[in-house]
């Protein structure tokens, strides 16, 4: 029996909506958890993890992060991934070269951090008085903050923890460069495998898009190796061609497994959940275009400020905009069909999900 689109949809849901486990195990299985600063009504990383970690509560990742073998770092986007995976991207060579004066500043800050231990950006600013700079959106921000961000990206610093959401920086032990081209290729291939493991099964075009993100942000030093890495990935992973689209998934997985069945649990997903991240795959699986509209002018929004895809019985049938007001969850839902399913089972499943969401926020 050949692989069908329904097989791939079932496979996609089953492999990422695994039985809830511990926080380290969940991030290990996901491979990468994208982060986002918006809280609507919780941050993206918390919305992703609540489906996969037993009794997860909003903010738990931030609270426990200092004790876990994780890194905040830029991969295909900014987020959290196992320390061993993050190390594969370093030593990172930024696309924008720093002048000598900037490196002198960075070295002075690095010595300060090594002497002090983990530091808050305000401590660095108070000690060095770097002044202010114009940021990317036209406002003004501390030059020390921008310098710390750049040092973190270049692998000089790591995020030790967050204080009230603000990054606290510590010195990072340098990662040795690959000994030769074979080791460099092995590291690159391991990162591509991590991409596939996080977002599979995925269209080949999506893999190309993810690899472009990786080479632009996570490993800009390998920009020239993108095409070769993509060709190797396509050669070593199982694939199928459906309606002119090539799909890939990790070796050893079977999209046709009978264990890939839908359950009765209704889930409100984060916009950056692995299930929803690829808008191309989303439209192929569920037949409609999901849009993230937090940065769209209010008058032009169709789904809402922070619409959470609503998954039930293997179908994304709508979306929800949720807010936490005075200790109560306010849920405003929309449906692709124009109305909610009339089955009593749907109402029960929705009530259960909103109760879980309330406990997660409390």
Instruction: Calculate mean pLDDT across residues 319-329.
Output: 95
Answer yes or no: is 323 within a domain: yes
- CA–CA distance, 294 with 12 (Å, rounded to integer): 26
Answer yes or no: is 214 within a domain: no
Answer yes or no: is 138 within a domain: yes
Residue 160 belongs to a domain with what CATH number?
A: 1.10.10
Last residue of a domain, one of 113, 142, 171: 171
82-110 pLDDT, tens digit per residue, is 999 999 999 999 999 999 999 999 999 99
Answer yes or no: is 344 within a domain: yes
Mean predicted lDDT score pLDDT of the chain: 94
Structure confidence at residue 204 as a pLDDT band (50, 70, 90): very high
Instruction: Calculate mean pLDDT across residues 229-256.
Output: 96
Answer yes or no: is 127 within a domain: yes
Residue 33: what are its φ and ψ, rounded to 5°? -120, 115
State yes or no: pLDDT of 1 exceeds 70.
Answer: no
Last residue of a domain, one of 156, 171, 186: 171
At residue 137, the pLDDT reads: 41
At residue 321, the pLDDT reads: 97
261-300 pLDDT, tens digit per residue, is 899 999 999 999 999 999 999 999 999 999 999 999 999 9
Instruction: Calculate mean pLDDT across residues 198-207.
Output: 98
- CA–CA distance, 64 with 46 (Å, rounded to integer): 12
Answer yes or no: is 178 within a domain: no
32-45 pLDDT, tens digit per residue, is 999 999 999 999 99
At residue 144, the pLDDT reads: 85
Answer yes or no: is 130 within a domain: yes
Task: Enter the pTM of the model.
Answer: 0.94
What is the residue range of 163's domain? 100-171
- CA–CA distance, 320 with 353 (Å, rounded to integer): 12
Answer yes or no: is 26 within a domain: no
**What count of other Cβ atoms lies within 10 Å of the Cβ of residue 249?**
23
110-168 pLDDT, tens digit per residue, is 999 999 999 999 999 999 876 555 544 445 457 788 999 999 999 999 999 999 899 99
The structural domain count of the chain equals: 2
- CA–CA distance, 151 with 169 (Å, rounded to integer): 10
Instruction: Calculate mean pLDDT across residues 220-249.
Output: 96
Structure confidence at residue 9 as a pLDDT band (50, 70, 90): very high
| 238, two tokens | 């199982």
At residue 141, the pLDDT reads: 52
71-83 pLDDT, tens digit per residue, is 999 999 999 999 9
Last residue of a domain, one of 114, 136, 171: 171
């Amino acid at each position: 029996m050949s692989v069908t689109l329904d097989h791939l949809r079932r496979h996609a849901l089953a492999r990422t909506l695994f039985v809830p486990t511990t926080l380290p195990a969940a991030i290990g299985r996901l491979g990468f958890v994208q982060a986002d600063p918006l809280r609507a009504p919780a941050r993206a990383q918390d919305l992703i993890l609540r489906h996969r970690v037993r009794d997860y509560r909003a903010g738990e990742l931030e609270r426990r992060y200092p004790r876990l073998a994780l890194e905040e770092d830029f991969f295909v986007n900014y987020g959290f991934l196992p320390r061993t995976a993050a190390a594969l991207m370093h030593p990172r060579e930024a696309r924008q070269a720093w002048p000598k004066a900037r490196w002198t500043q960075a070295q002075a800050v690095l010595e300060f951090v090594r002497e002090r231990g983990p530091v808050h950006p305000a401590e660095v600013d108070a000690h060095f008085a770097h002044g202010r700079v114009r940021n990317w959106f036209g406002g003004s921000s501390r030059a020390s903050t921008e310098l710390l961000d750049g040092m973190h990206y270049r692998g000089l610093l790591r995020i030790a923890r967050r204080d009230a959401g603000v990054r606290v920086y510590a010195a990072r032990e340098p990662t040795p460069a690959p000994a030769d081209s074979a080791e460099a290729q092995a590291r690159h291939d391991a990162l591509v495998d991590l991409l596939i493991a996080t977002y599979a099964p995925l269209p080949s075009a999506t893999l190309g898009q993810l690899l472009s993100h990786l080479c632009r942000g996570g490993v800009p030093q390998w920009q020239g190796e993108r095409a070769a890495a993509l060709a190797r990935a396509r050669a070593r992973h199982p694939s199928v061609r459906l309606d002119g689209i090539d799909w890939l998934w990790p070796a050893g997985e079977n999209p046709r497994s009978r264990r890939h069945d839908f359950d009765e649990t209704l889930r409100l997903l984060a916009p950056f959940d692995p299930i929803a991240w690829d808008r191309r795959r989303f439209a192929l699986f569920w037949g409609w275009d999901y849009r993230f509209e937090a940065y769209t002018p209010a008058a032009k929004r169709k789904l809402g400020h922070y619409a959470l895809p609503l998954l039930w019985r293997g179908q994304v049938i709508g979306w929800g905009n949720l807010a936490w007001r005075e200790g109560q969850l306010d849920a405003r839902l929309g449906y692709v069909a124009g109305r909610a399913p009339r089955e009593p089972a749907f109402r029960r499943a929705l009530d259960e999900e909103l109760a879980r969401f309330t406990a997660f926020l409390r």
